[in-house]
Homo-oligomer: A and B are copies of this chain.
Amino acid sequence: MSPMNRSVDMSADTWILTAQCPSRLGTVDVVTRFLKESRCYITEQQSFDDRLSGGFFIRTEFRPEDDGFDADAFRAAFAPRAAEFAMSFELTAPGTRLPVVIMVSKADHCLNDLLYRYRTGQLPIKIRAVISNHPDLEPLVAWHDIPYHHFPITPETKPEQEAQVWQVVQETGAELVILARYMQVLSSDMCEKLAGRAINIHHSLLPGFKGAKPYHQAYEKGVKLVGATAHYINDDLDEGPIITQGVGAVGHADYPEDLVAKGRDIERLTLARAVALHVERRVFLHDKRTVVFDR
């Protein structure tokens, strides 16, 4: 298991520019030349051109050389150059904390971990709300001064419940939804609305052990490694694009409940790592796969 990503509160003067477009000669140049002309000092840069799918991806950390950097002017000036390459881009300001909503059921190991990193500034997020189909985790969330919404769900009330969820997402301006062991399958409609901005943690090394009770499946199969997979959700259950995976050794003396216990640390580290990668703009979605400029 790798340690967490850097997870810095993005530092005082470091902007992030990310962009992607179809492969073509000059894709790097169009970005770096503009940064140079804008007197932006590049501190870290990674780019990748995918020979099989024909996609180009770049991530740049930079700091303006001069005072009074004007982000809007930067975007406006870069837009026509990007357009020539059919390039989408995003500029992220220093100190940006992404507004998020977390969804949980009863298990609290992932939630507790995210709350801790949030509270101590180790993850550049603002947790705007926690939503659960159970009331159990309210005290933990309340201690962190975060609104807790208990939206029970039954097969019959699922559309109404999802409407409630969606309302919270919209009202809070959440740009990311974290399914921190939510244990409910989202509807196709909800998956579509949250495409590219909802991260789920599944407690197995996907594509192994999809669906329910993966640790019990793992026990039956007698595997010697268990793991967790953080992925963007999509309409196909446990098939969304993978962001990162974690793994740990297990043995014959680990009964299913032991796998569950051992898995908790793997799950929460893997989910926290995926969230860090996402909010630091290190993840690019490309069809069913991701490009991740990790450190």
Q: Which of A108-145 contact B (CB under 8 A)?
A: 108-109, 112, 116, 120, 122, 143
Contacts A/B (CB < 8 Å), 7 sampled: A3-B249, A25-B39, A28-B42, A29-B32, A44-B253, A223-B242, A252-B292
* Given A208-B207, A225-B247, A41:B50 Cβ within 8 A: no
Q: Which of A137-172 contact B (CB under 8 A)?
A: 143
Taking a contact as CB atoms under 8 Å apart, the answer to whether B3 and A266 are in contact is yes
Q: Which of A221-248 contact B (CB under 8 A)?
A: 221-225, 227, 241-245, 247-248
Taking a contact as CB atoms under 8 Å apart, the answer to whether A222 and B45 are in contact is no
* Residue A197 CB within 8 A of the other chain: no
Taking a contact as CB atoms under 8 Å apart, the answer to whether B207 and A258 are in contact is no
Q: Which of A1-41 contact B (CB under 8 A)?
A: 1-4, 6-8, 25-29, 32-33, 35-36, 39, 41
* Residue A261 CB within 8 A of the other chain: yes
CB A282 to nearest CB in B, in angstroms, measures 11
Taking a contact as CB atoms under 8 Å apart, the answer to whether A224 and B245 are in contact is yes
Q: Which of B206, B242, B245, B258 is in CB contact (< 8 Å) with A6?
A: B258
Which of these binds chain B: A81-89, A91-99, A283-291?
A283-291
CB A142 to nearest CB in B, in angstroms, measures 10
Taking a contact as CB atoms under 8 Å apart, the answer to whether B44 and A49 are in contact is yes
Q: Which of A191-221 contact B (CB under 8 A)?
A: 205-209, 220-221
